[in-house]
Structures are given as C-alpha cells and as structure tokens.
C-alpha cells in the first residue's frame, strides 16, 4: 500500500552526495517538506496516506517548529500527542529513522498556504523528554501538559508542566501500554496472548 | 507519590510564588520518601525529575493544578501582569451552573477585576482514549460519540474517516451526502443549545426555553433517523448504520421551517435589545493573532475577522457541491460569537435544504462485507453472509499498519482524529483533538481585565463541552 511505496522512495539521511537525487522524485509534491529537508538534512520525509510527514531528530524539534512558523507561514500548531509502540505487533518502518518506544506527534497547519504538515519525533523509553514547542506556539501549553500527564514525556522549557487530566497525586502514566488497565489484560481460557 | 511529606497547608490561597519556593526548599525529603514507598515500581521513580521545583509541581496536594506565577509564560504574547498589592484567588466551579458541566476556573482578582484566569480541567476524565484502544473499529464509534455530547455526529464522522483513510475506502456518494446532512442537523442542534444556555447565562432566561424548544425538534428528527437523540453511533466505518427512513424529506423541511422561525425570533428578541448588547459588546475580546497562537478554531476564530472554515478551505464529504457561506465578524467579542452561531444555524438550514433536494440515490455504505455487515435478510439465506456478520461483530476487521490525521469542522472548531494502526482489529492509538480543549486556552486572553460577572459571559461564549475537553 501507500506505506510500502513511501518506504522504497525514502531518502537516505546523512548522505549528502545522494541527497538531492533521492529527494527529487518525492519531495516536489510537498514544497514545505522540501524546504525543511534543505535546512535540516537530518530530517526524514515520508508520505503517509497522502499527508506529508517529517521525522525530526530530537535535537532539532524546536528549531524545526520555529522554522515552520517563521519562514514557512505555519500559523497554527493544531495538536500535540504521543504514541506508545511498546506492544505494537506491526509497525510502519521508515528508512533512516531508528524506531523507539515513544513517538511525539505534532500536527501543524498553515492558513495562508492551506496545507498541513506532521512532525514526528522518536523518543527512547530510557529518557522520555523533548524540547517544548510552547516558546514557539503558545497553543502547545495544554496539549503538552496532556502528553506529559498521560505518557510521562517531559517537555523541556514548558512553562507549567503539571498533570492536567489526571489527579495530581496519580502514580503512573495511563496511556502507556504497560500501565493499568492495559497491563492487566482480561485473559480468557486458551487465549494465546493478550491482544 | 504520597502525601505524608506534602505540607497540608498548601491550599490555593497560599500558593503564591514565595510559598512555592519556601516549601520546595523546606521539604527536601519528599521525593526520597516517595521512591522508598513500597509498591511503587522502580521505573516510575526513575522518571521523576531531580529538579526541586519540578518535583514540587507534582507533589502538591489536593487541588494542585494551581496557579503559579510563571514570569516567562508566553500566553497572549506577554508576561502575567504584576498584581501590585492585594490580589485574591477565587474559585469558580467545578459545580457552577454557568460552567457547562465541570469546569473549574481560578480567577486571580484585584477587587472585581480579573487579572488572570486559569481553567482547571480533568473532572470528567474517563480515559476514553485508553478505552478506544480496547475497542475494535466496529465498536469504536460508541466510544467517541460520547466525547462531545452536543455534537456526537462530528466525533463519529472524524473517527470513521480516519479508519477509512487507513483502510483506503472510498465511500458511495449517497453515504457522503447522508453524513453531510447529519452533520448540519447536528450543527443546528448544537448551536441551538448554545443559544439556550448562553441566554440563560447572561440572564435572558426565556431563551433557555426557546432554544431548547427548537433543539428538541431537531433531536426528534435525529431520533427518527438514527433511533437515538444523542450518542447515535450512526456514522460508522464504511458508511452509516442505515438508510434514511421513509418520509424524512417532509419531516426535515418542517424542522427547517421551525428552526428558521425560531432563529428569526431570537434575532428579534436579542440582537438589538439594549441590555443584551450592553452585556456582551466589547466583552471578552480576542484578536486573530492570539487565536492563531493559542490554536483556537471554529466560531471564536471566525469572530475575529478570520474566515477559516474547513468545510470551505479543505472540503470533505460533499461540501464543495453545496452552496453556503462562511460567517465571520470583525470584533472578536462575546456579542460577535453569539451572532456568528446564530447565523451559522441559518447556513446549516441552507445546506440541509439542499440535501433534501439533491440527495443522490445509491448505497449508504460500502458494499464490502469485510467492513460493513450484510443486509439482515441475507443472513437468513446465506451461510457466507452469516459468517461475515459473525466475524465482523466478534473480531472486527483488521486495518493495515499506518497512521493518519483527519480533521473536520465541528460546531466548536476543528475536531481531529490521529489514529495509529498496528495491523490488528483495534487502533494502537486513537487521539481526538477536541476543539473545546484548545478553545479553553483562550479564556485567559479573553478574561484579562474583565469583571467577574463577565467571566460567566466569556465561558458561555467559548461554548466548551467538558466531555470533549476531558475525554
């Protein structure tokens, strides 16, 4: 399907010689992703069901956000959320992106250019932290609190990183796959595996 | 993290910045105590930060998502105003008739004037995103429909569209028109609900009855079509649950007439009434820049002169085939938000009338037995149909691994669904971007320098649905 095609044509990151040639066939469909790739060579582009997605290294997360806002007219950060891939039996692999347990996902919208872009950052389980986008987009304050609350991902530079939906004395991060109730699956007789 | 080490006197009123630092330094044993507590897994403790201040942020006691003075907070492009002298922190809610459910506001005030507002949410959090991971794609709509309970069909639509994009399904034309027709009926019901509650919050109590009266007519029509007044579970992956019933055209036109007459009455009753205008005009103003910065969508964004509507800008369903206008105003105050929602009811009526006229024939769902159940009559005569039906409602259908984000325009703004599939019959992650959750961020920008009485008008004009905020 679309995933397979995207996987075949993904550019090789960190390979400056092959960069332009590999980029050329797939990036023209999305000028924004092309501009991001040009400025940040470590970023990997992928098309997901017709939507442009850029995989951003952790160190460049806020810089890419600021670049999109200031130079690419991305006026609104629509959403920040996270995904826990701990139990995923099957997962989309992207060439040039080392899969980690967590992914933080930010959806951005440019009103003047009427296009969307999704930023994804791989977050290792051992050090779940990421630069906050709140200094760039003030709208990131609430969704990053929610992501912290439900996944335990720390956002550096966030002005008010507290629990937002769960009670303040809650232990654990509920949307992690190893957190209850997901950690205690209902088992039926003869059931080979949970999920 | 427990409690015995936390000072008991950390009440909201005491939580001035000085207290925070004093407690932070005065209680260095708190984290160690939590870590040594039996039953706390070691991994969790490791994730806790060493930083003293951060530790305190989550170590506080009851009522702790408290206001702290954060000097460099970027909201609205400035720092928190300096109180200068005596300020009071007052709680509004969570049980307050004008907070539309369980919204709690912390108002820092100087006499009657509000210096800043912080919404405290989570009272209605029921882990619906976690539940969504445990339900198959067939069951999923019953879950999401309960999020924004004033416009449940928008939730079902965005969930279904996300799953359909992962499946690569193309819907029949009639299914898309039925969905659009239902969306607009739901928008009418939702905005009528707003007119009713907004009127009551401001003090025009008769509006409560009038708005409810017309909304009930719309809900009666929805009940005729879907079988339920709310939480319909009617829009499902692959189409809708059923076709439109006999006689829906006449009933719809009747309701359209009723609603149009109702909107004319409200307009006459309120729009030029001096008390109403005095109460709302210039209250809770917000600018386009603030809206864009704070991720605010829907009628609030359009009230600032920014005509952005996903139905026009990024058309989905059949919205590019129907004729309607995007309503926007220039002032960004409570009065404009009232006017926009009033006018949007009429635009929805316009779309619904076109649906009645031009509803195309055809199938109301994809005829793919792997995704939608076979017709009831087939089950009696076909073994294969019976097996499909059984498999669909026990195991569901598998969705290829992938991820996608789909957004539609709900009555409150952009509702989005970020869905990740891991190749099984249940989504690995199902996140709903609830517009109310983001729109609540506007409350501080709108409430600055307003009076306490205006806070009620401001909350009402944001029109938050707490089921969607807390999920």
| Cβ within 8 Å, pair B404-A48 | yes
Q: Strand pairing of A115-123 and A129-131?
A: unpaired
| Cβ within 8 Å, pair B49-A154 | yes
The H-or-E segment that residue B8 falls in is none
- Residue of A43, A4, A16 lying closest to A27 (CA atoms): A43
Angle of helix B173-202 versus helix B452-462 axis, rounded to 10: 170
Task: Please name the residue of chain B whose CA is at the shortest distance from the CA of residue A194.
Answer: B134
A17 CA to chain B: closest CA distance, Å?
Answer: 30
Report whether pLDDT(A186) > 80.
Answer: no
- For the segment A126-154, what is each residue's pLDDT rounded down to a tens digit? 889 999 998 899 889 899 999 999 999 99
| Cβ within 8 Å, pair A114-B313 | yes
β-bridge mates for residue B431, sequence order: B418
pLDDT band for position A193 (50/70/90)?
low
- Total number of residues shown for chain A: 195
pLDDT band for position A71 (50/70/90)?
confident
Task: Please name the residue of chain B whose CA is at the shortest distance from the CA of residue A53.
Answer: B404
| Cβ within 8 Å, pair A164-B121 | yes
For B322, which DSSP code? Answer: S
- Residue of B416, B419, B447, B446 lying closest to B433 (CA atoms): B416
Kindly report the CA angle at B139 between A146 and B252, in degrees rounded to 5?
100
Task: Please name the residue of chain B whose CA is at the shortest distance from the CA of residue A133.
Answer: B74
Report whether pLDDT(A182) > 60.
Answer: no
Q: Residue B95 burial by CB count (10 A; 0-12/13-18/19+): exposed, middle or buried?
A: exposed
Task: Please name the residue of chain B whose CA is at the shortest distance from the CA of residue A181.
Answer: B130
Q: Residue B372 phi/psi, 5° resolution?
A: -115, 150
pLDDT, greater one: A34 or A60: A60
pLDDT given at position A73: 87
Number of other residues whose CB lies within 10 A of the CB of residue B314: 18
Alpha carbons B259 and B29: distance in angstroms, whole number: 63
Report the CATH superfamily, name and number, of domain B128-470. Cytochrome-c3 Hydrogenase, chain B (1.10.645.10)
- Residue of A185, A175, A141 lying closest to B432 (CA atoms): A175
Check: complex ipTM more than 0.85: no
Distances (CA, A) of B447 to B66, B274, B303: 18, 23, 16
Q: Which of B130, B134, B429 minimises the CB distance to A83?
A: B429
Q: Which of 303-322 (B) contact A at CB < 8 A?
A: 306, 308, 313-314
Q: Residue B107 phi/psi, 5° resolution?
A: -110, 125
| Cβ within 8 Å, pair B122-A167 | yes
Q: Residue B157 burial by CB count (10 A; 0-12/13-18/19+): exposed, middle or buried?
A: buried
Q: Which of A77, A164, A168 minimises the CB distance to B295?
A: A77
Residue B120's contacts (CB-CB under 8 Å, 6 or more residues apart) are B65, B94, B104, B105, B106
pLDDT given at position A6: 40
Q: Strand pairing of B104-110 and B113-120?
A: antiparallel
pLDDT in tens, chain B (471 residues): 444 444 444 444 444 444 433 343 334 333 333 334 444 444 444 444 455 555 555 544 444 444 544 443 434 333 444 545 577 788 887 877 666 778 888 888 877 888 888 888 888 888 899 889 889 999 999 999 999 888 999 999 999 999 999 998 889 999 999 999 999 999 999 999 999 999 888 888 888 899 999 999 999 999 999 999 888 999 999 889 888 999 899 999 999 999 999 999 999 888 888 989 988 888 888 988 889 989 999 999 999 988 889 998 889 988 988 999 899 888 888 999 999 999 999 999 999 999 999 999 988 888 887 888 888 888 888 888 888 888 888 888 889 988 999 999 999 999 999 999 988 899 999 999 999 999 998 888 888 888 888 888 998 899 889 889 988
Q: Which of A88, A137, A181 minimises the CB distance to B293?
A: A137
Domain ranges of chain B: 12-120, 128-470
Alpha carbons B165 and B408: distance in angstroms, whole number: 14
Which of A51, A81, A102, A185 would you mutate first to test chain B, the one with the most B CBs within 10 A?
A81
Alpha carbons B113 and B86: distance in angstroms, whole number: 12
pLDDT given at position B3: 43
- For the segment A10-48, what is each residue's pLDDT rounded down to a tens digit? 444 444 433 333 333 445 468 888 888 888 888 888 888
Q: How far apart are the first and last CA of chain A?
A: 24
pLDDT given at position B419: 93
Chains A, B: CB pairs < 8 Å: 164
What are the chain B neighbours of A140 within 8 Å (beta carbons)? Answer: 295
Alpha carbons B253 and B352: distance in angstroms, whole number: 9
Number of other residues whose CB lies within 10 A of the CB of residue A121: 24
pLDDT, greater one: A156 or A90: A156
Alpha carbons A33 and A41: distance in angstroms, whole number: 11
Say if CB A101 and CB A173 are below 8 A apart.
Answer: no
Sorted by where each starts, the structural domains of chain A and their CATH numbers stand as 2-142 (3.30.460.80)
| Cβ within 8 Å, pair B130-A182 | yes
Q: Which residue has the tokens 């708005």?
A: B211
Q: Which of B58, B75, B168 minimises the CB distance to A138?
A: B75
Mean pLDDT of chain A: 78
A28 CA to chain B: closest CA distance, Å?
Answer: 21
Three-class secondary structure of residue B462 per DSSP: helix
Task: Please name the residue of chain B whose CA is at the shortest distance from the CA of residue A116.
Answer: B405
pLDDT given at position B48: 41
pLDDT given at position A187: 63
């Amino acid at each position: 399907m679309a995933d397979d095609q995207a996987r075949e044509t993904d550019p090789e990151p960190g390979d400056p010689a092959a960069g332009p040639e590999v980029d050329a066939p797939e990036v023209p469909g999305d000028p924004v992703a092309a501009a991001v790739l040009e400025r940040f060579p470590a970023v990997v582009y992928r098309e997901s069901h017709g939507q442009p997605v850029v995989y951003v290294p952790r160190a460049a997360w806020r810089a890419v956000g600021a670049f999109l806002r200031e130079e690419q007219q991305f006026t609104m950060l629509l959403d920040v959320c996270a995904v826990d891939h701990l139990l995923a039996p099957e997962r989309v692999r992207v060439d040039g992106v080392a899969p980690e347990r967590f992914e933080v996902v930010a959806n951005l919208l440019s009103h003047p250019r009427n296009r969307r872009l999704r930023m994804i950052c791989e977050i290792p389980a051992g050090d779940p932290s990421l630069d906050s986008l709140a200094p760039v987009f003030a709208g990131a304050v609430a969704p990053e609190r929610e992501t912290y609350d439900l996944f335990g991902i720390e956002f550096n530079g966030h002005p008010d990183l507290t629990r937002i939906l769960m009670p303040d004395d809650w232990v654990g991060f509920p949307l992690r796959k190893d957190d209850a109730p997901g950690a205690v699956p209902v088992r039926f007789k003869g059931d080979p595996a949970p999920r | 993290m427990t409690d015995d080490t936390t000072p008991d006197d950390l009440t909201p009123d005491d939580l001035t910045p000085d207290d925070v630092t004093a407690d932070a330094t005065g209680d260095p044993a708190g984290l160690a105590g939590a870590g040594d507590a039996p039953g706390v897994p070691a991994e969790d403790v490791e994730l806790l930060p060493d930083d003293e201040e951060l530790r305190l942020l989550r170590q506080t006691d009851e009522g702790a998502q408290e206001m702290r003075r954060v000097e460099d907070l970027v909201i609205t492009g400035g720092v928190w105003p300096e109180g200068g002298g005596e300020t009071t922190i007052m709680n509004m809610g969570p049980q307050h008739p004008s907070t539309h459910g369980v919204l709690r506001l912390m108002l820092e005030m100087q006499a009657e004037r509000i210096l800043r507002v912080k919404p405290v949410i989570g009272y209605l959090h029921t882990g619906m995103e976690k539940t969504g991971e445990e339900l198959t794609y067939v069951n999923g709509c019953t879950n999401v429909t309960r999020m924004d309970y004033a416009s449940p069909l928008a939730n079902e639509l965005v969930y279904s569209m996300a799953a359909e994009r992962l499946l690569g399904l193309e819907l029949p034309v009639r299914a898309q028109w039925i969905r659009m027709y239902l969306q607009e009926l739901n928008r009418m019901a939702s905005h009528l609900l707003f007119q009713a509650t907004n009127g009551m919050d401001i003090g025009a109590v008769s509006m409560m009855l009038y708005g409810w009266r017309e909304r009930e007519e719309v809900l009666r029509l929805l009940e005729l079509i879907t079988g339920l007044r709310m939480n319909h579970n009617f829009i499902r992956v692959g189409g809708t649950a059923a076709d439109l019933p006999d006689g829906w055209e006449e009933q719809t036109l009747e309701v359209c007439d009723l609603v149009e007459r109702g909107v004319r009455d409200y307009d006459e009753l309120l729009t030029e009434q001096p008390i109403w205008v005095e109460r709302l005009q210039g209250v809770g103003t917000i600018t386009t820049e603030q809206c864009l910065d704070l991720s605010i969508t829907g009628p609030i964004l359009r009230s600032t002169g920014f005509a952005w509507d996903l139905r026009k800008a990024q058309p989905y369903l059949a919205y590019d085939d129907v004729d309607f206008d995007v309503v926007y105003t220039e002032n960004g105050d409570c009065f404009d938000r009232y006017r926009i929602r009033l006018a949007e009811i009429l635009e929805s009526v316009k779309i619904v009338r076109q649906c009645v006229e031009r509803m195309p024939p055809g199938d109301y769902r994809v005829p793919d037995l792997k995704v939608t159940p076979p017709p009831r009559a087939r089950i009696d005569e076909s073994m294969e149909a019976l097996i499909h039906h059984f498999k669909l409602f026990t195991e569901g259908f598998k969705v290829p691994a992938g991820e996608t984000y789909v957004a539609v325009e709900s009555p409150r703004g952009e509702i989005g669904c970020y869905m990740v599939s891991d190749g099984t019959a249940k989504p690995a992650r199902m996140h709903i971007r609830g517009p109310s959750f983001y729109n609540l961020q506007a409350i501080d920008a709108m409430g600055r320098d307003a009076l306490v009485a205006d806070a009620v008008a401001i909350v009402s004009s944001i029109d938050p649905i707490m089921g969607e905020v807390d999920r």
